[in-house]
Chain A
Amino acid sequence: MIPELGHFFLILALVNAVILGTLPFYGAHTQHKGLMRLASKASVGQFILVLASYICLTIAFVQSDFSVSYVANHSSNITPLRYKITAVWGAHEGSLLLWIVILAAWMAAVSIFSKALTPEMRARVLGTLGLISVGFVSFALFTSNPFERVLPFIPIDGSDLNPLLQDFGMIVHPPMLYMGFVGFSVVFGFAIAGLLQGDLDQKWAKWARPWTTIAWVFMTIGIALGSWWAYYELGWGGWWFWDPSENAAFMPWIAGTALMHSLAATEKRGAYKSWTLLLSILTFSLSLLGTFIIRSGALTSVHAFANDPERGLFILTFLGIAVGGALSLYAWQFDKLKSNNNYTLISKEIAIVLNNVLLFCCLLVVFLGTLYPLIADYFLEQKVSIGPPFFDPYFSFFFAFILFLIPFGQQMNWKQNKLKTIAIEQFILLALAIVIAVFTIFSLTGELDLFALLGISLAIWLMLSCLLYLYAQTKNAKSQLAGLKKLSRSYWGMIVAHIGVAVTVIGVIVTTIYSFEKDVRIEAKHTVQVENLSIYFEKFDNYTFENYISSQATLKVSKNGNYLTTLKPEKRRYQVSNQLMTEAAIEPGFFGDLYISLAQPLENGAWAIKVYYKPFVRWIWLGALIMALGGLLAISDKRYREKKFRKVKAIKEEGLV
């Protein structure tokens, strides 16, 4: 009964979305107040309906209703309760439902927090989101219904959730990532509404900006969580693989980053309206493309990953209508998008253009690398596959330029600057950074790796430059604290986020260049030496847990003769699926992780183990969290919360008019 109810709610949600995607547009066109107001109510209604449907599916999981085929395939009687609840998004059908719920949550949020919008704008933004819902709800209903029953032969037990997903990282990673993915639909909605309206003023950018930033924050955290999960769960210590599904999330993130910057120029200076709009469309298109890549298996004709042409065709059609429609609208209204071109060569406007060009190059690298197999297949009829050897050098090449640009960019004012002052300051800092980098690298490793030197110098330079920026704020204030307090939250956001970039860069470079990995054979009651670590194999035990049996090795590790830690890497056998999982044991540290995983058993109780040392690996994710914090600071800026009369004043102060 409950699954049918869930199915029914989903059908109602489709009807509701169709209403939301049509009537408010008509209302905005004919100035009908009632129809425009309908948009808000229907958005909240959409959220309630899809949430109800989602809860029904969750109940089916909790009750282990194996007559529902999705439940039978991704849960079992002995699956622990927490994973029964999270198994809802453990595969295609359910994660699509989560997508829909999150989309509706964003819609409800827009209808609640954007009372300041004109009624037309609001109706059109929500209407656009309604149309997107129509697409996704019908996708779920017609091709991937999670409520499908297997009758009359109901399985006695399910086949359990994939053990890889039975993990804390997998509980938090997908919802976070989806919040970001789907969150970009809001700025897309704003772009469509703006295009339909025809006149795109700076208010438009001001409204769209915090929504873009918050989606970006979620996405940043989501990607970082995914990378962290891959690191500790997959058992080979890697944190990024340039896998199509990773790139699918990374591409909208890069575009979103560019969008945040260009929105700043559009809001503050009225510059690049046309480009910012295009970027808004592009960012969400890449989110849709990501969904297409992961869900359809377009890349499967080469990589063959969960290929399903029927679903692929549906998403492709939807992608075609949504993006094709948006781009046609853009072409149609292109004439009306007049930008303010009143700036000089040495200005923040130009810095932002460079930022966008470089980020776009990075995006292009990832895009081409991900889709090249398709393109080559189409034009050259060649089967190729592209990996890190392509991505690493090209991406780093463009990213190095970005690192070089940030210290200058963040010092710039709008309109015009004296390059000489900024340049002298920054090059002194750069020289200082190189000295620090040379000294640190040489004293720690005894040699100088050119790439490490380049990357670390740039990162340290960026940090110094952020500190200088803060220092400069305090110079003219009464006290240092007063100066820092006066700095607006959006500037704090910028500085903090840029520090985050530097932290991540240091993490990436040090881990990539200085990690080591050793395969060693280890016997019970014996000690092996790996670099300056000695590892003593104390014992090997079996334990039984809810749905798996764990075989653990107990290893005592000492460093330079002093006891460091006890690590217990395991092999787990999940009983239902009979799958064997390797759980690495990690001794985490701010300056590096010791990472040990069991490879395979050898004769007489000996084991082959893999020992990794990953210096600074945590900085990668720490930096991402700092970036996200920067984003949060930026949206907490008080100008987004101000009353109307103060808003005008603030705009004047910022030199808009």
Chain B
Amino acid sequence: MKSKKIIIASIPLVIFAILVLIFKSSLNKDPRKLETKLIGNQVPVFELASVNSPETVLTNADLPKEIFLLNVWGTWCVSCYAEHPYLMKFSKEYPIKWVGMNYKDTHQDAINYLAKYGDPFIYSIADTTGQLGIDLGVYGAPETFIVDAKGVIRDRHVGVIDDRVWNKVIVPKLESIGWNKSGME
């Protein structure tokens, strides 16, 4: 009888302990630390429509011939809404090109989104089926790849880029591969 009561009394504590374990692991599984096999490789070959003008077909040849950032976004991605103002700001304030990759989205939604919140990208690649995303090993949106002038992926960041991430992670990485804030390479 006594031991039965102790068991009942401890149930809430046990459930809570399990939850804490789960939360703890979710913190450790920080997606930003994910590695990609693609670092050091070329951007996978693609041939996809442009979000901005659907008749235009974009290929690897259209990628900028300088260091640039490839940002994976989607209108279904709640965090992209949070990230977007930062992209607007960084694209305005820093001399670096942003290429958008509109991931698993419909064309109309993507157009509406850019019209409503502004367009920080030189253009966005429409990856409607998600094939390029699979080739890139995209984990989820938003995600940003640092690509150099030769089209080689040098690094990746999973998750929202805000002021803190930009200054502490992205800019140092960009600088380590030869980019600088004044825009000279």
Contact = CB atoms under 8 A, between A and B. Distances in A.
Contacts of A162: 85
A306 B27 CA distance: 13
A302 interface: yes
A361 interface: no
B9 A303 contact: no
Interface in B1-28: 5-6, 8-10, 12-13, 16-17, 19-28
A375 interface: yes
Nearest to B93: A159
Contacts of A306: 79, 82, 160, 162
B117 interface: yes
A317 to B, nearest CB: 9
A378 B25 contact: yes
Interface in A301-323: 301-307, 309, 312-313, 316, 319-320, 323
Contact of B26 (A328, A330, A374): A374
B12 A330 contact: yes
Residue from A377, A580, A582, A599 having most chain B Cβ neighbours under 10 A: A580
A229 to B, nearest CB: 15
Nearest to A374: B26
Interface in B65-121: 78-79, 82, 85, 88-89, 92, 111-112, 115-118
Given A301-B26, A371-B22, A374-B26, 4 more contacts: A243-B78, A278-B12, A282-B12, A302-B140
Size band of the interface chain B makes with A:
35 or more
Contacts of B92: 578
Contacts of B23: 292, 298, 316, 319, 374
Nearest to A319: B20
Contacts of B160: 304-307
A636 interface: no
Size band of the interface chain A makes with B:
35 or more
A235 interface: yes
B30 interface: yes
A600 B109 CA distance: 11
A499 B4 CA distance: 43
B27 A312 contact: yes
Interface of A: 73, 159, 162, 235, 243, 278, 281-282, 285, 292, 296, 298-307, 309, 312-313, 316, 319-320, 323-324, 327-328, 330-332, 334-335, 371, 374-375, 377-378, 383, 577-580, 582, 599-601
A580 B162 contact: no
A309 B25 CA distance: 11
Interface in B129-170: 140-142, 158-160, 162-163
Given A316-B23, A319-B20, A301 B29 contact: yes
B140 A383 contact: yes
Q: Which 6 A-B pairs have the closest CB atoms?
A: A334-B9, A600-B115, A304-B159, A331-B9, A327-B13, A305-B79
B162 A320 contact: no
B31 interface: yes
Interface in B22-57: 22-32
Contacts of B21: 378
A580 B26 contact: no
A371 B21 CA distance: 13
A577 B88 contact: yes
Given A298-B23, A377-B29, A328 B116 contact: no
Nearest to A244: B78
A582 to B, nearest CB: 5
A221 B117 CA distance: 30
Contacts of A243: 78
B115 A599 contact: yes
A562 B144 CA distance: 53
A485 to B, nearest CB: 44
A578 B86 CA distance: 10
A313 B163 contact: no
A282 B142 CA distance: 34
Contacts of A301: 26-27, 29-31
